[in-house]
């Protein structure tokens, strides 16, 4: 049986992104792609289990070129999302899921050993409790991004609406770590206050929580809060911010404490947000950014 540090599970996608006052692009995307490209570039042994059309298999080549083992679950279509920024508030976006590859079942996921299995979805069309319970039954230590459940597809228009999740407490209680952004946190907990939201999520049974917002990222772990500001000079690469931040954090948490991991993740995603697409810099670039912009301690909000 193959062994990995981190395995990402979710749909591959094409992202059509319209920037406020700027250009529009169409490029391969997804939480899996953004995450796996980070961990692979950091030298972490990585696999990706992706549902997509085999006709689009070439879009996983960047992962394979970095040494990621990619397992494709065949689907009639590859997920296609349209993201529109209608203002300069980068946390406010209109998302339409034009096509979706659909639900992933436990039997679709190959057997492997991993330190973490991350469920990174684009919408609520990818994961259900049966998958979560099935992977837990295999003994996997799971993490997830709550966008995978909060982003809900409107049947006719295919627009994404952010809604509360009936099974949120059960889902979160089965996770070793969860990731949210400030919008998702408010939908699930009813508060915009990051610390208060993290405490509520923690009370549902998850010991480690990350919440991102436009200016930085908060972590709650071991009964303490940590916050690290972003240092990006541009938001041209905003799409994939949360996926990238959490992947970097998860990679560092394999061997480092919360504060160190958060600082590294904030620096890495700051570099990423200054260019289009997934993270494509080096470990040395991140260390340079830490030295130049993140030399202080990670403080509470």
Q: How far is CA 108 from the centre of its chain?
A: 21
The β-bridge partners of 14 are 28, 80
Residue 184's pLDDT band (cuts 50, 70, 90) = very high
Residue 299: its pLDDT value, please?
Answer: 58
Helix, strand, coil % over all residues of the chain, rounded to 5: 35, 30, 35
Max Cα–Cα distance, the chain, nearest Å? 50
Cα angle 55-57-63, degrees, rounded to a multiple of 5: 165
- 216, with CB counted inside 10 A (0-12, 13-18, 19+), is buried
pLDDT tens string 6-31: 999 999 999 888 867 777 878 898 99
Contacts of 177 (CB under 8 A, 6+ apart): 116, 143, 206, 207, 208, 209, 210, 246, 250, 253
Instruction: Dig out the tokens for 156 from the structure.
Output: 């006719």
Query: Sign of dihedral through CA atoms 151, 128, 46, 176?
Result: positive
pLDDT tens string 102-119: 999 999 999 999 999 999
The pTM assigned to this predicted structure is 0.93
Residue 298's pLDDT band (cuts 50, 70, 90) = low
Residue 23: its pLDDT value, please?
Answer: 73
Q: Which one, of 260, 301, 242, 214, lies nearest residue 38 by Cα?
A: 242
DSSP secondary structure string, 32-80? HHHHHHHHHHTT--EEEEEEE-GGGGGGGHHHHHTT-EEEEEE-SS-EE
Residue 165's pLDDT band (cuts 50, 70, 90) = very high
Pick the CATH number of 3-293 from 3.40.50.2300, 3.40.50.1950, 3.40.190.10, 3.40.1190.20: 3.40.1190.20
pLDDT above 60 (res 243): yes
pLDDT tens string 199-217: 999 999 999 999 999 999 9
pLDDT tens string 61-81: 999 999 999 999 999 999 999
Residue 300: its pLDDT value, please?
Answer: 55
Measure Cα distances from 103 to 79, 129, 148, 189, 270 in Å: 11, 11, 11, 26, 32
Task: Give the separation between CA 264 and CA 235, rounded to whole angstroms.
Answer: 19
When pLDDT is averaged across residues 176-183 and rounded to a whole number, the result is 96
User: Parallel, antiparallel, or unpaired for β 79-84 and 13-18?
Assistant: parallel
Residue 296: its pLDDT value, please?
Answer: 73
Residue 297: its pLDDT value, please?
Answer: 62
């Amino acid at each position: 049986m193959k062994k990995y540090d981190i395995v990402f599970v979710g749909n591959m996608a094409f992202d059509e992104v319209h920037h406020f006052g700027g250009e529009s692009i169409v490029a391969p995307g997804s939480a899996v792609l953004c995450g796996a490209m980070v961990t692979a570039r950091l030298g972490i042994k990585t696999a990706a289990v992706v549902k997509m059309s085999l006709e689009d298999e070439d879009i996983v080549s960047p992962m394979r070129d970095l040494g990621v083992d990619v397992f494709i679950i065949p689907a009639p279509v590859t997920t296609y999302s349209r993201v529109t920024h209608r203002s300069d508030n980068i946390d406010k976006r209109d998302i339409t899921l034009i096509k979706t590859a659909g639900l992933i079942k436990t039997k679709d996921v190959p057997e492997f050993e991993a330190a973490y299995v991350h469920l990174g979805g684009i919408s609520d069309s990818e994961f259900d409790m049966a998958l979560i319970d099935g992977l837990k039954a295999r003994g996997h230590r799971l993490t997830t991004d709550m966008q995978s459940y909060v982003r809900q597809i409107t049947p006719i228009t295919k627009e994404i609406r952010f809604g509360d999740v009936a099974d949120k407490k059960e889902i979160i209680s089965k996770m070793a770590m969860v990731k949210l952004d400030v919008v998702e946190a408010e939908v699930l907990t009813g508060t915009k206050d990051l610390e208060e939201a993290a405490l509520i999520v923690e009370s549902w049974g998850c010991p480690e929580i990350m919440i991102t917002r436009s200016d930085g990222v908060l972590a709650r772990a071991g009964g303490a809060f940590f916050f690290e500001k972003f240092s990006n000079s541009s938001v041209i690469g905003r799409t994939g911010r949360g996926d990238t931040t959490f992947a970097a954090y998860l990679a560092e948490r394999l061997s480092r404490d919360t504060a160190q991991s958060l600082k590294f993740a904030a620096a890495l995603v700051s570099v990423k947000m200054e260019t289009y697409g997934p993270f494509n810099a080096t470990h040395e670039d991140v260390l340079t950014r830490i030295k130049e912009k993140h030399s202080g301690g990670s403080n509470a909000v």
